[in-house]
């Protein structure tokens, strides 16, 4: 399948190749293509809290692997250098805050396409 509608890829394909000007930029599964993106731009997580978001934000900021933590409308967005999902899960379960959900955010096909286009 050839398309410029990237959402179609995510709905129908398990693997993809990205081509520009007849040159192959990248190919593989979404996990394979995502790996380099995560290594460079970071691993992203969303944490929804019902209370104690400020305290949790401060704890997360103290982690060496963390690049950035923002809090807005009871949602923390964490960008880390490495996969710290299990560390975040442990923090979320031990503190005086109430965590509703912790979700790793995978790059979309659009994100991946833009990432590989800029790398070329």
CATH number of the structural domain 42-105: 3.30.70.100
- Show Cβ contacts of residue 79 under 8 Å, excluding neighbours closer than 6 positions: 41, 42, 43, 44, 66, 67, 68, 69
Angle, helices 85-94/53-61, rounded to nearest 10 degrees: 140
What residue has token string 């590989």? 116
pTM of the complete model: 0.81
What is d(CA 81, CA 84) in angstroms, rounded to the nearest whole number? 8
pLDDT at position 29: 85
Give the chain's mean pLDDT: 89
* pLDDT on residue 60: 96
Q: How far apart are CA 57 and CA 60, in angstroms?
A: 5
Residue ranges, comma separated, of all CATH 3.30.70.100 domains in the chain are 42-105
- For 115, counting Cβ atoms within 10 Å of its Cβ (0-12 exposed, 13-18 middle, 19+ buried), the class is buried
pLDDT, residue 112, reads 86
DSSP character at residue 89: H
Q: Inform me whether the pLDDT recorded for 5 exceeds 90.
A: no
Asked whether residue 4 carries a pLDDT value surpassing 80, the answer given is no
Share of the chain above pLDDT 90, in %: 49
pLDDT in tens, 40-50: 889 999 999 99
pLDDT band at 83 (very low <50, low <70, confident <90, very high): very high
């Amino acid at each position: 399948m050839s398309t410029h509608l990237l959402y179609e890829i995510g709905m129908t394909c398990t693997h993809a190749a990205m081509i520009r000007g007849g040159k192959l930029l990248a190919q593989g599964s979404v996990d394979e293509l995502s790996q380099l993106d995560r290594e460079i731009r970071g691993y992203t997580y969303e944490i929804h809290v019902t209370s104690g978001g400020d305290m949790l934000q401060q704890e997360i900021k103290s982690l060496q692997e963390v690049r950035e933590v923002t809090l807005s409308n009871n949602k923390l967005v964490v960008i880390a250098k490495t996969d710290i999902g299990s560390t975040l899960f442990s923090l979320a379960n031990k503190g005086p805050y109430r965590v509703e959900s912790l979700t790793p955010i995978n790059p979309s096909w659009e994100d991946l396409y833009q990432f590989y286009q800029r790398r070329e």
